[in-house]
Amino acid sequence: MGTISTSDFRKGMKVQIDGIPFLCTEMNFRKPGKGTALYECKLKNLIRNTVVDRTYRAGQTLEEADIMEFTAQYLYRQGEGFVFMNNQDYEQYELNAEQVGDVARFLKENMDCQVMTFNDLPIAVSAPNHVVLKVVQAEPAPKGNTATGVQKPVTLETGSDILAPAFINEGDWLRVDTRTGEYIERTNAPEGEV
């Protein structure tokens, strides 16, 4: 495993501190009037999902984390676990609800996701940025309410509730942003779906 010098610090880098993998979510360079340059980092613990602030002086190094990412297909839910299969070697990985996090709201069988492993153990999963899901429950819009921007809660096929425009009905297909959980647009059914 290599080391990363402060001059190579970037947002998105993955490092290991005391045997725990971290993802740099923010990095600011600061050069005070006197002394050495400072690198202020926000690091997300990839095991516990907590964020820490760390400051490093120019010339310091961190160990590169042994993190692999690969495309895996979501297969099914088993109790509190979620089972994914690597699309390359067909090996299956089970992640718990904490590791899957909010992504669980939008998981649909056979969906391709990105699974992250540390020392060959799965630690996190991320869904595509946008998914197309069917509305299974939506209250009818009140008659005469023609104001723009009116939203109502709808339930998606994954069981997730989101806010959508008042004109959305049961059976409609919606494109949803998995990062924010927000409605993007009404769309056609994906190929093979009815």
Give the model's confidence band at 194: pLDDT under 50 very low, under 70 low, under 90 confident, else very high: low
Q: What is the pLDDT at residue 23?
A: 85
CATH architecture for residues 67-126: Beta Barrel (2.40)
Q: What is the pLDDT at residue 124?
A: 85
Q: Where does CATH 2.30.30.30 sit in the chain? A: 3-64
Q: What is the pLDDT at residue 79?
A: 86
Q: What is the pLDDT at residue 173?
A: 92
Q: What is the pLDDT at residue 75?
A: 92
Q: Where does CATH 2.40.50.140 sit in the chain? A: 67-126, 130-187
Asked if the model's pLDDT at residue 144 lies above 70, the reply is no
Give the global pTM. 0.72
Query: What is 130-187's CATH superfamily?
Result: Nucleic acid-binding proteins (2.40.50.140)
Q: What is the pLDDT at residue 1?
A: 62
Question: For 12-31, what is the mean pLDDT?
Answer: 86
73-116 residue pLDDT tens: 999 988 889 999 999 999 999 998 888 888 888 898 999 999 98
Question: For 4-16, what is the mean pLDDT?
Answer: 85
Pick the CATH number of 3-64 from 2.30.30.30, 3.90.1150.10, 3.40.190.10, 2.40.50.100: 2.30.30.30
Question: For 6-22, what is the mean pLDDT?
Answer: 86
Question: For 179-186, what is the mean pLDDT?
Answer: 87
Alpha-carbon separation of residue 58 from 1, 10, 84 (angstroms): 21, 14, 41
Torsion of CA 94, 73, 160, 183, to 10 degrees: 140
Amino acid at 80: E
Asked if the model's pLDDT at residue 193 lies above 80, the reply is no
Alpha-carbon separation of residue 46 from 1, 21, 66, 67 (angstroms): 18, 6, 12, 10
22-51 residue pLDDT tens: 888 888 888 888 888 888 989 988 887 788
Arithmetic mean of pLDDT over the chain: 86
